[in-house]
Structure 1
Amino acid sequence: MLPSFRDEFLLPRHTDGTPAVYLCGNSLGLQPRGVKEAMHQELEDWANYGVEGHFHAKNPWVSYHEPFRRPLAHVLGAKELEVAALGTLTNNLHLLMVSFYRPTKERFKIVIEAGAFPSDQYAVDSQARFHGFDPKEAVVEFKPREGESTLRTEDVEEYLEKEGDQVALVLFGGVNYYTGQAFDIARITAATHAAGAVSGWDLAHAAGNLHLKLHEWGVDFATWCSYKYLNAGPGAASGIFVHEKHFDEDLPRFQGWWGHDPDTRFKMTREFKPARGADAWQLSNAPVFNMVALKVSLGLFEAATMPALRERSVALTSALLEALPQNDSYEVITPRDPKDRGSQLSFRVPKGRSLFEKLSAAGVICDWREPDVIRIALAPLYNDFDDVERFVSILSTLA
């Protein structure tokens, strides 16, 4: 099995000086050790070259985004022209929905999972409203069955088969932020297309977590943030995926200078000529300092590979599930079948805020989500089986 890359990261310390049990990579990944040196390089080049750093820096800024294509393609299961590092997640959702949410009077509904991350809910509501529809009618929130915590893929397929002629877009999260359920992207995408709708995905909790095959699965578009499993730092640059089948379509698109064909970009022509591929959705030049950590982290993903990381993730979460003490004070609501979960396990703990605070005081860094869930994540790049053992030992004394 792939060894841990733990030594490549900086771990926070508990108040007693010992390394914390860091189980919060689903919220903010750890800093790779190489980031400080890489950031220093860009600062030095800025100091030494000024504006000429765009062309003469060690990593020229004018093309800084280009080397990201290959590692992102490997992480997302895409072709290199289908991915681009740019923007932020919700901004990118809006940019992509400009192109791919094109409602008509008959086909106008957006299907999301109930309990989607609030920013996604706000985004689809505002898009429906922008197109003149009432979100209460246009946005369908797909809920689990009564008494269940997670969705069944067959229920989504059945809904789309029956009601799909009114659906314009299905926009799910690859992994639900609250329950930790990993959705069957291939099956839901196939059902979406069979209904004549567009398949879009928010991969904030899936990129760098699941073994994705976006091109093979035929996903139309996707976006993600890079500060969780991709370890790019708070507020780091996001990215997008657009399937190559859309490259030659005359899609509506918000346009900006950096989306222009790079061969003629600096001729400053009045007419916009889109770049080939996902780069056409770029608006502005790369925020270099905001992409340094992502560059370093993606180098580690290249060394590790997603199939090996996924195997390690399953082993870590399975080990934790087997070692958990039997206790009625909490319930794991994340699916136990590895294919239906990523690296996150969600514990439902009624009135559990106090348990979360006790875990924090004992040196466990995880997070709390209202109203009753403690989320822990075993990020396979830097978490190891010692983390599993330490967490179970601490939990056993508290729960």
Structure 2
Amino acid sequence: MADKEAEAIPLKPQIGSCENSTSTTTTPRGKRNSNKKQTSEFRTKKHKGKKTESILDERRKEDVLQIEDQLKAFDPMEPAVSEKLTRATNPYAYISPEPFISILADHFDVNVSSEEFAARLDGMDKLRSLKDEFVIPKKVDCARVDKENVGPDDPVVYLCSNLLGLKVKTVDNYMSELLRDWGNWGVWQNFEGRFAGMGIDQKPTRALMKLVGAREGEITLMNGCTVNLHFLMIHFYQPRVGRYKIICEENPFSSDLYCFKSQIRFHKLDPDKALIQVKPRQGERFLRNEDVIDAIEKHGKQTALVCFGGIQFFTGQRFDLEGVTKAAHAQGAVCGFDLAHMIGNCEMHLHRWNVDFAVWCSYKYLCGGQGAIGGAFVHRNHWDRSAPRLEGWWGVKEEKRFFMNPELDASLGANAFRISMASVWNTVPLYAAMEVFDRTCMRAIERKRFWLNGYFDALVAKLNQDVMDTFGLRGDKEGILTVPDPKVFKVLTPANPKERGNQITFIMRIPRADVIYTALTKAGFVLDYKKPNILRISPHMLYNTFHDMFLLANFLRKEVFNHLGTMATAYRSSQKISTG
């Protein structure tokens, strides 16, 4: 019955050229071209024969295919502009959106940082209609917003989906229907209606299977993210003499770190010896893929589990799940991931990549609401794995669940890990969100992110240049900014689109950055701030627009110029300000 109910979510026509959403993606450019030595080697060898020229020609063909695929994010363009974009590909570097953003602006004869250009991009966005499915908070209703001179329908600019996604409009009616069914039917609400409790945790799984690239039976909904990580580690982390280490990224999300350490202590081991955190190189902000692989190979047969976040929660770096999994398996280790910051904004193929297990929450990019039910993935290769597993009656096969037999007859696949009946209150909002996700695909979401984040990168680059031109040291001109690196807004997230998700983390390298954040909040920008000077912005491709990014960059420009102008007046005659 649960499987039939899982198919009951009504499907509407998909938006965003989703016909190829499950096709094999091309090799990440970061693996191929992030190595500068390799790039220069190709340049020096170019004269040595046709073989190298052939390699570059093949790369350019691949680049053209990539940019043609990215262009599917927009409504059809004139052949002339498409040709300009494909001609601009560079076989020596990963595909970066910034030069293509400039080509589009030139084609439309507008400035990259103009509001008109943002409107042009929004007008071509194939996912633009999905914004209407969400409740965008209004400034007059939103906490911490200055209500003076605010219109009754002025929306906030919501860029905080890494913390909590927005509500889908149908949630209110669905929750009312659920309450009505409970009131009208009592216990029969468990078995009747579209939100019957018996199958509620199975209803959204069809959409989630597509989001993570899973096969039938490989995912389940239960508990919360960290609880699920504990449950699966009990099963998959089985240390023994000589093989006991856990490898993760440095400074993972704190809840993951607590989980790793407590699981190690549970097995009477020392976290200082058993937990290996892979660090970036000195002076670098994020991990290189090759350093992750090297760490796994270094600890080799001593490693029991490799468990990374799919996206590093602070920097926004996206890890190579397939590459990490292969490296772990080559050493005989199990490989799992916390996908809390990745699911709903990055295309994944967990089954094809042979990921052993994964967990996630549903309240961020999945828009399931605060405290929404969590999810877990267990590859079918492990369904008959002989290892301890916590058990409860909801892990029993559905047709035998009410027999109350003394021995558990486990469900097939990930559902065997369920303990208790899922809460309908934590699941129905996710059901509503999955109806919206079902109208598009992850490939379409990836395409839009390529352009939207690239557009914001271009705006930040222009803002940095304008600030330094006005306030920085130039020749004999006296300026108040004396930073060696002329980037007042320094992006910490990797520039390579294959190594990032929706989130962009950057440092505001100016004195009293908290003043800028306070102004942003009062003006109706909802984003994440970490003291003393870190901003994390997380646009959601289903409801954020290019105009949102324009508004943020424009407001930052105004506030930074006002802020530095005031400081320049006060301090120009007495001192220079080093922002370090």
Normalised to the residue count of structure 2, the TM-score between the two structures is 0.68
* CA-CA distance at 1:364 after TM superposition: 0.9
Match of residue 135 from structure 2: 10
| Among 544, 548, 558, the residue aligned to 1:387 | 548
2:211 alignment counterpart:
75
TM-align CA RMSD: 1.2
Equivalent-residue separation in structure 2 for 1:342 and 1:36 (angstroms): 30
Q: What is the match of residue 347 of structure 2?
A: 211
Q: Secondary structure at the match of 1:348?
A: strand
Matched, 1:354 2:515: yes
Kept in 2, the 8 Å contact 1:178–1:373? The answer is: no
Gapped regions of structure 2 (runs ≥ 5): 1-72, 74-125, 140-146, 468-486, 561-580
Name segments (4+ residues, structure 1) moved above 3 Å: none
Change (3 A) 1:77 1:259: same
For residues 56-108 of structure 1, the C-alpha deviation after alignment (integer angstroms, 9 at most, x for no partner) is: 23332111122222111001110130001111001000000000000012111
Q: Which residue of 1 aligns with 2:255?
A: 119
TM-score between both structures, scaled by the size of structure 1: 0.98
Amino acid at match of 2:291: D
Contact 1:10–1:31 under 8 Å retained in 2: yes
Question: Bigger CA drift: 6-15 or 93-102?
Answer: 6-15
**What SS does structure 2 have at the residue aligned with 1:291?**
helix
C-alpha distance in 1 between matches for 2:493 and 2:214: 27
2:284 to 120, 137, 148: 148
C-alpha offsets along residues 187-241 of structure 1, whole Å, 9 cap, x if unaligned? 0111011111111100000000100110011100000010000001111100000
Residue range with higher mean Cα deviation, 318-327 or 52-61: 52-61
Partners of 1:178 and 1:369 within 8 A in 2: no
The 3 A distance-change label for structure 1 pair 370 and 121 is farther
Alignment of 1:1-399 (within 5 A): 1=73, 2-4=126-128, 5-14=130-139, 15=147, 16-17=150-151, 18-324=154-460, 325-326=463-464, 327=467, 328-350=487-509, 352-370=513-531, 372-399=533-560
Q: Is the 8 A contact 2:245 2:305 kept in 1?
A: yes
Give the C-alpha shift of residue 349 in structure 1. Answer: 2.7
The CA distance in 1 between the partners of 2:386 and 2:409, in whole Å, is: 12
**Gap change, CA 1:287 and 1:146, over 3 Å in 2:** same
- Per mean C-alpha deviation after superposition, the further-off stretch among 283-292 and 49-58 is 49-58
Displacement, 1:370?
A: 4.2
1:164 positional shift: 1.5
Counterpart CA distance in 1 for 2:361 and 2:285 is: 25
Contact 1:258/1:282 (8 A) holds in 2: yes
d(CA) in 1 for partners of 2:490, 2:238: 41
Letter of the 2:375 partner, please give it.
Answer: G
Residue of structure 1 in register with 2:62 after alignment: none
Q: Mean alpha-carbon deviation: is it higher for 34-43 or for 348-357?
A: 348-357
CA contact (8 A) 1:68 1:84 kept: no
- Assess if the C-alpha contact under 8 Å between 1:201 and 1:222 holds in 2: yes
Number of aligned residue pairs: 399
Deviations 1:357-376 (A, max 9, x none): 22112221001134542100
| Deviation sequence 1:6-33 (CA, Å, 0-9, x none) | 1111111223242111100111000000
Aligned AA (2:405): T
CA distance in 2 between partners of 1:215 and 1:373 (Å): 36
Given that residues 372 and 426 in structure 2 are in contact (C-alpha distance below 8 angstroms), is that contact kept between their aligned partners in structure 1? yes
Distance 2:385 2:313 in 1: 33
- Distance (whole Å) between structure 2 residues aligned to residue 144 and residue 58 of structure 1: 49
- The residue type equivalent to 1:357 in the other structure is T
**Does the 8 Å CA contact 1:69/1:81 hold for their aligned counterparts?**
no
Change (3 A) 1:80 1:354: farther
